[in-house]
A and B are shown apart, each in its own frame.
Chain A
C-alpha cells in the first residue's frame, strides 16, 4: 500500500510539473504562436536555480523567483528574435532552439555539469508544488478575463482584424512570450527539484513534444485545458502500463491519435460548450 502511494505520488508530482510546461506552451499558443521554446526557458530556470541552490545554498522560495525571472528575460530576447518570423518558421526555429539548448547544456559545464549532470540536493513537498500551481492557475484565470486575455484571443483568431482594432500583434505576442518564459523557468526548477538530478537530456525534445501534445489534447482554447492535458498525458502511460505492459508507450500514442482525430479541439473546448448551450436555449 505504501509502495502504491509512493508510485502515484511521483506521478502526481510529475503531472503537476508537466502542467507548468503545458501552461507555458499554452501562454504562447493562446496568442497564436506555436513555439517549443518552453524547453529552453525550463533549462535555464532549472540549471540556474539548481546552481544557486547548490552553491549559494539558497532555499527553494528564493530560487524559484530567480528561475522564473531568468526564464522571462530569456523569453523576451527570444521574442525579439522570433517575432520577425512567420508562423511556420517560428515553429521550426523554436524546435531548432531546443536542439541548440541541449548542445549548450552539454558544453556549458560550469552551469550544467555537462555530461556528468548535476545533482540537486533539495526537494519540495507535494503540497507546496500544488500550492504554487494553484497560484499560477489564479493568475491565468485572471489574465484570461482581462484585456490582455481578450486581446490575445483576438490576435490568435485574426491578427489583421485585431490590428485594425488597435491591438498590436507584436506587443501582445511579446507579453505572451514573457509569461511563457516565467512559467517555463519556474517549471524548469520544479522539475529539477522533483528529479533531484539534471542532465543535458533532461530538457530536450521529449518535453517539447509532451507539453505541446498535452496542451492540444487538453484543449488549447482554455488555460484549464493545459492542466487537464498534462494530467491525462502523465497518468495515461502509468495506467496503460498496468493494462498493456511493454506496449504502454505505443498504446499512449494510439490514445493521443484517437483523441486528436475525434476531438481535434481537445478535451476542454469553451466554444463547443457555448455552442451546445446556444442549441439548447429556446430563444431562437
Chain B
C-alpha cells in the first residue's frame, strides 16, 4: 500500500456548459490496489473515468500514470500506456461473438505485422491462434468460456458485463477502470465480480471501480473516494468513509435514512 501512486489526478476540472461535472478533483490510486469510487447519481464518477481514458478532455489539471502526464495523449495512446475500461451502459460491438469482442480487445497484443497477416504467413497464423487461445482463457476467467461463439448481444446483461471485463483485460492493462461492473446483477453475481477483481489484483493489476453497492465496496476495496457534485468528499478506508457523516448526508440524503439502510444490510 505504500508504493508510489500508479494513477494520480491533480486539480482536474471539467465543465459541460454551465455545469461543473468535476471540480478540482485530486485522487491517487497506489499500484496493486483496488480503489473504489462512490457517490450519488450525477456526482461525476463516469466523467472521471472518461477523463482518465481521454474520451473527454479536462479543462485543467493533471492526470498522470506512473508519474507521467497522459491528459494530452490521444485515446488509443492512453490505452497503449496500459489503461483499460468497461462502460456503465455496456458498449459491446454489434454483430461480434463473445470471442471476437475479446480478440478486438487484444489489438495491443497482436504481435504480428499487417503484411504477415496479408500474406497469411505462418507467423501471423500462429499469432492469431495465440490471440484466440488467450481470449478464450480470459473468457474462462470471467466464466464465459461456454458462450465464446455466441453473439454477445443475445446474452444477458450480466453476461455482457463480464464479456466487457474480458475485452478490457484483452489489452493486457496495468490499470483497469470498471464503471459500475455489478449494475443489474444479483448478490451472487456481484460477489463473483468482487472475487474476480481480487484475483486480478493478486495478479498485479491495479483497479479503480465505480460501485454503488456499499457491501461490495466494503468487502473488496482497499480504499475509497466518495464524490459529490464533482468534488472528492472523503478519502480513506471503506469503513472510515461509510462512517463519515458528510458521506451519509451526501449519499443517503438524511442521516436517519442512512442508519436505516445500514440496519437493513
A, B in one complex: yes
A-side residues, CB < 8 A to B, are 138-139, 142-143, 145-148, 150-151, 153-154, 157-158, 160-169, 175, 221, 270-271, 274-275, 278, 281, 284
Quick check: A167 and B104 within 8 Å, CB to CB?
yes
Quick check: A153 and B117 within 8 Å, CB to CB?
no
The distance in angstroms between the C-alpha atoms of A139 and B114, with both chains bound, is 12
Set B74, B95, B106, B108: member contacting A270, Cβ < 8 A:
B95
Quick check: B154 and A278 within 8 Å, CB to CB?
yes
In the assembled complex, the CB of B111 is this many whole angstroms from the nearest CB of chain A, namely: 9
Q: How many A-B residue pairs have CB under 8 A?
A: 105
B-side residues, CB < 8 A to A, are 53-55, 74-80, 84-85, 87, 91, 93-97, 100, 103-108, 110, 112, 114, 117-118, 120, 124, 128, 131, 150-151, 154, 167-168, 170-171
What is the chain A residue whose CB lies nearest that of B79? Answer: A166
**What's the dominant secondary structure at chain B's contact region?**
helix
In the assembled complex, the CB of A101 is this many whole angstroms from the nearest CB of chain B, namely: 27
The distance in angstroms between the C-alpha atoms of A153 and B103, with both chains bound, is 11
List 19 interface pairs A-B (beta carbons < 8 Å), by A numbering: A142-B118, A143-B118, A147-B112, A147-B131, A148-B117, A153-B100, A154-B107, A158-B91, A158-B93, A161-B93, A163-B79, A164-B55, A164-B84, A166-B108, A166-B171, A167-B76, A169-B76, A275-B151, A275-B154
Residues of B within 8 A of A162 (CB): 104
Quick check: B117 and A165 within 8 Å, CB to CB?
no
Quick check: A139 and B118 within 8 Å, CB to CB?
yes
Quick check: B105 and A165 within 8 Å, CB to CB?
yes
Set B54, B84, B151: member contacting A271, Cβ < 8 A:
B151
What is the chain A residue whose CB lies nearest that of B120? Answer: A142
Residues of A within 8 A of B53 (CB): 164
Residues of B within 8 A of A164 (CB): 53-55, 75-76, 78-79, 84-85
Residues of A within 8 A of B131 (CB): 147
Residues of A within 8 A of B107 (CB): 147, 150-151, 154, 165-167
With A153-B96, A158-B91, A271-B95 as given contacts, are A146 and B117 in contact (CB-CB < 8 Å)? Answer: yes
**What's the dominant secondary structure at chain A's contact region?**
helix
What is the chain A residue whose CB lies nearest that of B80? Answer: A166
Set A139, A166, A175, A275: member contacting B76, Cβ < 8 A:
A166
The distance in angstroms between the C-alpha atoms of A175 and B114, with both chains bound, is 9
In the assembled complex, the CB of A164 is this many whole angstroms from the nearest CB of chain B, namely: 5
Quick check: A157 and B95 within 8 Å, CB to CB?
yes
Quick check: A146 and B95 within 8 Å, CB to CB?
no
Residues of B within 8 A of A151 (CB): 104, 107
In the assembled complex, the CB of B56 is this many whole angstroms from the nearest CB of chain A, namely: 11
Residues of B within 8 A of A169 (CB): 76
With A147-B128, A163-B75, A165-B105 as given contacts, are A157 and B94 in contact (CB-CB < 8 Å)? Answer: yes
Residues of A within 8 A of B114 (CB): 148, 175
The distance in angstroms between the C-alpha atoms of A169 and B108, with both chains bound, is 13
Residue among A142, A150, A274 with the highest chain B CB neighbour number at 10 A: A150
Q: Which 6 A-B pairs have the closest CB atoms?
A: A166-B79, A163-B75, A146-B117, A271-B95, A147-B110, A166-B108
Residues of B within 8 A of A274 (CB): 95, 97, 150-151
Known contacts A142-B120, A167-B107, A278-B154; 4 further A-B pairs (Cβ under 8 A): A142-B118, A145-B128, A163-B54, A165-B79
Residues of A within 8 A of B103 (CB): 147, 150
Quick check: A157 and B93 within 8 Å, CB to CB?
yes
With A164-B75, A167-B104, A278-B151 as given contacts, are A146 and B124 in contact (CB-CB < 8 Å)? Answer: yes
What is the chain B residue whose CB lies nearest that of A154? Answer: B104
The distance in angstroms between the C-alpha atoms of A153 and B97, with both chains bound, is 12
The distance in angstroms between the C-alpha atoms of A87 and B96, with both chains bound, is 23
What is the chain A residue whose CB lies nearest that of B170? Answer: A165
With A153-B96, A157-B94, A157-B95 as given contacts, are A163 and B128 in contact (CB-CB < 8 Å)? Answer: no
Set A138, A167, A271: member contacting B94, Cβ < 8 A:
A271
Quick check: B93 and A142 within 8 Å, CB to CB?
no
The distance in angstroms between the C-alpha atoms of A188 and B110, with both chains bound, is 34
